[in-house]
């Protein structure tokens, strides 16, 4: 392949599965992505991607090339990070994908301790296994596939909450249906014996619902502590604690900036644990519990 830039398009399509999302990732337009795919088809002698119900999926024959492209991308990022770290001046862009409450409630309060050579961007990641465009992803449970390096960074306890001083809730709200099997959502099914009457896409939105309605909802403690007008449901001892893991591509092994960022993330969970425990409501910690895939 003479044009190395084609590798970027291969990676974007394999990660995004749609031309629209691939174009956004590459900061270009759908027409350009389509032309690149047509050119790759001509060069390879077969279509590199096949359209399926879940979007454009890579043909089996292209998988080794995508694997090489990931290694090239990772090695380039590693060497750029090392060069910038040695210079002491240039900042390294880092993208972290995580649930919104992790960035807002656990990591952003610790932003003053962020490594100085980093330009940080948070990307909301609600579901999904892969890294996508992220340098680091933080998720519930150990990632199950991929050429990844992993580290447990902390754990967070979830419980059902309702509005303080209100009547005992008879109904509840939850995240979207793909979360129904998650242990945090199962707290609501077990308590109320029925599906939720209202659904939203983030825990932050669930906290607002609890504040403004008579509905209960499962929330992480670190979201709940920021809302003094909500409280755990009484006589409930079936909370659930989930482990959070960070992962990054194995080609970034030894990357000094990645290593500093992982340490910063671990410290963020540790500091959040201290704050929430002092508040009398919190349970964010680093000690062990069984990892359950998100």
Of residues 243, 258, 276, the one with CA closest to residue 106: 276
Q: Is pLDDT at 91 greater than 60 in this prediction?
A: yes
Confidence of residue 6 (pLDDT cuts 50, 70, 90): confident
pLDDT tens digits for 108-162?
988 888 888 788 999 988 766 678 788 999 998 887 767 789 999 998 889 999 9
**How far is residue 285's CA from residue 192's CA, in Å, rounded to a whole number?**
28
Are the beta carbons of 61 and 40 closer than 8 angstroms?
no
Q: State both tokens at 87.
A: 């210079």
Q: Which of 7-11, 96-100, 241-245, 275-279 has the lowest mean pLDDT?
A: 275-279
Q: What is the pTM of this model?
A: 0.72
Q: State both tokens at 291.
A: 């990892």
Between 234 and 140, name the one with better pLDDT. Answer: 140
Residue 95: φ, ψ to 5°: -110, 125
**How far is residue 88's CA from residue 275's CA, in Å, rounded to a whole number?**
33
pLDDT of residue 53: 84
**How far is residue 233's CA from residue 199's CA, in Å, rounded to a whole number?**
19
Distances in whole angstroms, Cα of residue 241 to Cα of each of 26, 120, 133, 183, 218 = 37, 28, 28, 9, 12
Size of the chain in residues:
294
Number of Cβ atoms within 10 Å of the Cβ of 88:
8
**How far is residue 189's CA from residue 180's CA, in Å, rounded to a whole number?**
9
Residue 33 in 3-state DSSP? helix
Location of each CATH 3.40.190.290 domain in the chain: 91-294
pLDDT tens digits for 166-176?
788 999 999 99
Classify domain 5-68 by CATH number. Answer: 1.10.10.10
Are the beta carbons of 68 and 126 closer than 8 angstroms?
no
Are the beta carbons of 97 and 136 closer than 8 angstroms?
yes
**How far is residue 89's CA from residue 102's CA, in Å, rounded to a whole number?**
29
Is domain 91-294 given the CATH code 3.40.190.290 in the classification? yes
For residue 286, how many C-alpha atoms fall within 13 Å in the half-sphere facing its CB?
Answer: 16
């Amino acid at each position: 392949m003479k044009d190395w830039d084609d590798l970027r398009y291969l990676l974007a399509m394999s990660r995004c599965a749609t031309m629209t999302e691939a174009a956004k990732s590459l900061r270009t337009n759908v027409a350009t992505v389509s032309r690149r795919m047509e050119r790759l088809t001509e060069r390879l002698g077969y279509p590199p991607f096949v359209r399926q119900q879940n979007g454009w999926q890579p043909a089996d024959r292209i998988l080794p090339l995508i694997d090489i492209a990931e290694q090239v991308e990772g090695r380039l990022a590693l060497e750029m990070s090392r060069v910038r770290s040695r210079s002491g001046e240039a900042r390294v862009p880092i993208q972290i994908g995580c649930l919104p409450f992790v960035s807002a409630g656990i990591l952003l309060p610790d932003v003053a301790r962020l490594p100085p050579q980093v330009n940080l961007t948070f990307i909301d990641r609600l579901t999904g296994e892969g890294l996508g465009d992220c340098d680091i992803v933080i998720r519930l449970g150990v990632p199950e596939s991929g050429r990844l390096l992993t580290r447990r960074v902390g754990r967070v306890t979830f419980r059902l909450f309702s509005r303080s001083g209100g009547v005992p809730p008879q109904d509840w709200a939850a995240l979207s249906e793909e979360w129904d099997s998650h242990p945090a959502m199962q707290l609501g099914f077990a308590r109320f014996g029925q599906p939720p009457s209202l659904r939203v896409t983030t825990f932050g939105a669930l906290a607002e619902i609890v504040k403004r309605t008579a509905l209960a909802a499962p929330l992480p403690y670190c979201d709940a502590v920021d809302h003094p007008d909500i409280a755990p449901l009484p006589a409930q001892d079936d909370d659930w604690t989930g482990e959070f893991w960070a992962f990054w591509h194995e080609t970034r092994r030894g990357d000094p900036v990645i290593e500093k960022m992982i340490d910063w993330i671990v410290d963020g969970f540790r500091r959040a644990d201290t704050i929430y425990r002092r508040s009398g409501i919190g349970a964010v910690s680093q000690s062990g519990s069984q990892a359950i895939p998100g």
